[in-house]
Amino acid sequence: MCGIVGVVSQAPVNQLIYDALLLLQHRGQDAAGIVTQLERKFFMHKAKGMVRDVFRTRNMRALPGNSGIGQVRYPTAGNAFSEEEAQPFYVNAPFGIVMAHNGNLTNAHALKREMVQLDHRHINTESDSEVLLNVLAHELGKASSNGALNTDAIFAAVRAVHRRLRGSYAVVALIAGHGLLAFRDPFGIRPLCIGRGKDGTVMVASESVALEGTGHEFLRDIAPGEAAFVSLDGDMQFQQCADQPRLYPCVFEFVYLARPDSTIDGISVYQARLNMGETLATRVISTVPPNQIDVVIPIPESSRPSATQLAQLLGKPYREGFVKNRYVGRTFIMPGQAVRKKSVRQKLNVIASEFRDRNVLLVDDSIVRGTTSKEIVQMAREAGARKVYLASAAPPVVHPNVYGIDMPTRDELVAHGRTVEEVRQIIGCDALIYQDVAAMKKAVGRLNPCLHGFEASCFDGVYVTGDVTAEDVTRLNAGRVGGDEDEGGTSRLTLPNAQES
């Protein structure tokens, strides 16, 4: 996942895009970038780092104009360390286009070959997003007649793009002198929504929190396969551009990725997490008798809503036993196991009195590599807990993700190939309770009966685009650079199991 935003206004947009990116910071901490447009000229600043570090006053002053796009990056393809792979990306022909992408293409390698051999386009980085931009540019060039571009041609280009791309993509692109184009893949895997301000400013963003937090009214989600085009005077047009659109949003957005105050595809992320806590309660009760639990403690931050609901249904006190250092970012989306592991202790510290001589039920939203749970269980014991039980609001993560979440290999997933009892032993808790897949889908899905289903491949191994082979997973993983070089140059393919590192 990454966070993307696009804005068309009648006033300068640099600060607005910056503010929206800050609201999307939880979706990507590795790099940030903004492009604005003034009189057909683009102004760009992008670099590695968090939004606050990337944009200094002098950079902001150098971003003039009333339209623009921005991105916060969480690398899941290409080179995690490359400054050049920070987004947005730019191509000069045709028209001049800048683009930001959230998602992951599963056929980027084949497209890249086509781009070079057939379309004679040069791709300068390892990023799948640069490939995507070149496909879009090529199709826009083909759809325009004699260099003129109207909305019909733009939508025809998106239709052609859908036919060529595989994988997940939510995209915002600015076409110089024309306007803002936004579209979402035919399964709607990654989120994208649109809103309007009182002054007529139009904003497209990954999550509704970016709209609301900057004073824009949420209008609606962009539908799967749909494209929206916003002209430079703020006129909006929409068109369905996919042959068979179906709504299969990524369930991990509701588990962990998105902010709880966002609504995605008609589902409140907060309510989804409450519901997951509710169904988890029945599993807990059948595993650990409630009279053996003294207190329910969330593992901050994302598990809080599920933990409150769970505690209420168990009739047990909900207590804050861990204090989060707000200056340390999200650990799961950090690149590299060594830095993730170190950051758990830097990020969370215990309030010992909440643990001493108590049987505690810790709750997390998900257990992926087990980095967090292993450290946290140990910290609870060091603080004097008698029994430490652990419940996960999501089912075991056992399959790699190829749609934009950093779960590239089975080997690094603590639950892959292991029984719950084996995972329990690795994590070191006294009981381990997982949500089950059907219950999770039901808990979230009942909030929008119009969904066709969920992209839940990391839990159930079903890749909704239907075209992902084991070779694809290996190739996508092998094509990645970075993230674990901080552990002595090991590539992701040879990363040791979570319990060994």
Ligand X SMILES: O=P(O)(O)OC[C@H]1O[C@H](OP(=O)(O)OP(=O)(O)O)[C@H](O)[C@@H]1O
Residue 302, marked binder? yes
User: What does 256 bind: Mg ion, ligand GLN, ligand X, none (CB cut-off 5 to 8 Å by kind)?
Assistant: ligand X
| Whether the Cβ atoms of residue 447 and residue 272 lie closer than 8 Å to each other | yes
CA distance 386 to 357: 5
Identify which of residues 75 and 186 has a Cβ nearer to ligand GLN in the complex: 75
Which range, of 16-24, 43-51, 294-302, 430-438, touches Mg ion by CB under 5 A? 294-302
User: What does 77 bind: ligand X, Mg ion, ligand GLN, none (CB cut-off 5 to 8 Å by kind)?
Assistant: ligand GLN
In the 3-class helix/strand/coil scheme, how is 35-53 assigned residue by residue? EEEECCEEEEEEEECCHHH
Both tokens of 291, joined, read 């009279």
Residue 364, marked binder? yes
Helix (H, G, I), strand (E, B) or coil at 449: coil
Considering the complex, what minimum distance in angstroms separates the CB of residue 250 from ligand X?
Answer: 15
Provide the phi-psi class of 417: left if phi over 0, else alpha when psi is between -120 and 50, else beta. Answer: left
Considering the complex, what minimum distance in angstroms separates the CB of residue 161 from ligand X?
Answer: 32
User: What does 367 bind: ligand GLN, Mg ion, ligand X, none (CB cut-off 5 to 8 Å by kind)?
Assistant: ligand X
Q: Is 77 in the site for ligand GLN (CB under 6 A)?
A: yes
Residues within window 80-99 making contact with ligand GLN, judged by CB under 6 A: 85
How many beta carbons lie within 10 A of that of residue 147, not counting itself? 8
DSSP state of 346: H
* Strand stretches in 234-383, DSSP E: 236-240, 263-264, 267-268, 295-298, 322-324, 348-350, 359-364
Name the one residue in this structure whose structure tokens are 């803002």: 180
CA distance 299 to 307: 9
Residues within window 103-122 making contact with ligand GLN, judged by CB under 6 A: 103-104
CA angle 191, 192, 193 (to 5 degrees): 130
CA distance 190 to 405: 10
Q: Is 70 in the site for ligand GLN (CB under 6 A)?
A: no
Identify which of residues 164 and 381 has a Cβ nearer to ligand X in the complex: 381
Identify which of residues 77 and 136 has a Cβ nearer to ligand GLN in the complex: 77
Both tokens of 238, joined, read 């929409």
Identify which of residues 232 and 339 has a Cβ nearer to ligand X in the complex: 339
Of 102, 154, 152, give the one whose Cα is nearest residue 127: 102
Considering the complex, what minimum distance in angstroms separates the CB of residue 93 from ligand GLN?
Answer: 23
Residue 411, marked binder? no
DSSP code string of 159-181? HHHHHH--EEEEEEEEETTTEEE
User: What does 128 bind: ligand GLN, ligand X, Mg ion, none (CB cut-off 5 to 8 Å by kind)?
Assistant: ligand GLN
Name the one residue in this structure whose structure tokens are 């509704």: 208
Residue ranges in contact with ligand X by CB under 6 A: 256, 299-302, 330-333, 364-373
Q: Is 457 in the site for ligand GLN (CB under 6 A)?
A: no
Considering the complex, what minimum distance in angstroms separates the CB of residue 269 from ligand X?
Answer: 12
Q: Which positions are annotated as active-site residues? A: 2
Considering the complex, what minimum distance in angstroms separates the CB of residue 170 from ligand GLN?
Answer: 8
Q: Enumerate binding residues for ligand GLN (CB under 6 A).
A: 1-2, 73-78, 85, 101-104, 127-129, 404
Q: Enumerate binding residues for Mg ion (CB under 5 A).
A: 302
Sequence ranges of the binding site:
302, 364-365
Sequence ranges of the binding site for Mg(2+):
302, 364-365
